Amino acid sequence: MKIGMQDVNWEHVGACLARADDTEQTKFFKSFVKECLSWGTNYQVEYQLAGINLTPKEKEVLGMLSFTEQSG
């Protein structure tokens, strides 16, 4: 989707986000998900995200995004 920001250097944005503190990163990811949920169907979100296709190492790095504490 190409709505909103145009001519953005996404590599630079990603590097800045990686170096941001957890509060700023939280704002980014929460607003990203909120926007995706506004599109209307899960299919639209899945279709958009399918193009990212993370490598196993990238998935490992981002794995804590969905971390849930295990009771034990």
d(CA 33, CA 30): 5
Whether residue 52 is predicted with pLDDT greater than 60 in this model: the reply is: yes
Query: Which pTM does this prediction carry?
Result: 0.76
Residue ranges of the domains in the chain? 10-66
Cβ(19)–Cβ(28) below 8 Å: no
Mean pLDDT over residues 39-65, rounded?
91
